Amino acid sequence: MKLILLPGMDGTGLLFGPLLNRLGSLDTEVIPLPSEGAQDYSSLAEKVAALIGEQECVVLAESYSGGIVEILLKKHNLQIRHVIFIASFLSCPSRTLSRVAAVLPIRALMAIPVLAPLAMKVLLIGRSASPDTISLLRRAINAVDPKVLKRRLQQIAKYRATDTSFETHATYIRPVNDALVGDRTREFRDRFPHLKVINVGGPHFILQAQPDACAERILAEVGHLASKGKGAA
């Protein structure tokens, strides 16, 4: 069975590169988010569901894609056996921040030589981030139409918590030093009774900052399900 990876707000899947290099034993597939059309969670979930189809799978949702997974489980009859949430959320973590970010020229800010690397290190990828990691993040952001980023940020601002509970087994990998989303353990426990929380020291972009640690934990959680050549355990 496959490990399906759904990217964060950039939607490109480029940022999964460091992690995928360490998950060679797993059968993985990255599903990028569509760069055109509606960007609300329901529309995105419908397109993702069509690509997943009838196959049994494990789904990994990075950050923004947590809302997509919630709708996949709630409204689509898919064979998702386990969900891994990475630095994710199931309601808007900060409406003020998301509304402000939605009107900022993100790509222009990322081009400022001194400000951009500093801001990315402080808020996103950690102070010890390498130039290669900074370059990867910048490349992912630059690959997305600013209008699409704006619509996704607006979607986050409107994202409301629900009282739906899911029996699907889930893992929440929580970056201890996440300055953007913070600790969402309570809302994940409210929705997923069969939840395991794993704390990993690092910033919001934990997969890029700590790929070895994250890969080790992902393999421990679902390696028996998604190893190449294996079906359901």
Q: What are phi and psi of 39, to 5 degrees?
A: -120, 10
What pLDDT does residue 62 have?
97
Tell me which amino acid residue 16 is: F
Least confident of 83-87, 92-96, 98-102, 176-180: 98-102
Average pLDDT value over all residues in the chain: 86
Domain ranges of the chain: 2-226
In Å, how far are 26, 109, 176 from 172, measured between CA atoms? 19, 31, 12
125-141 pLDDT per residue, tens: 656 667 787 788 888 88
d(CA 157, CA 80): 27
In Å, how far are 56, 82, 122 from 227, measured between CA atoms? 13, 14, 36
d(CA 104, CA 197): 33
- Domain 2-226 -> CATH class: alpha beta
Q: Both tokens of residue 104?
A: 């900022």
Least confident of 55-59, 128-132, 134-138, 160-164: 128-132
The residue among 108 and 147 whose pLDDT is bigger is 147
Q: Using pLDDT thresholds of 50, 70 and 90, give the confidence band for residue 113.
A: very low
What pLDDT does residue 124 have?
56
- Our CA angle for 32, 38, 43, nearest 5°, is 70
What pLDDT does residue 161 have?
75
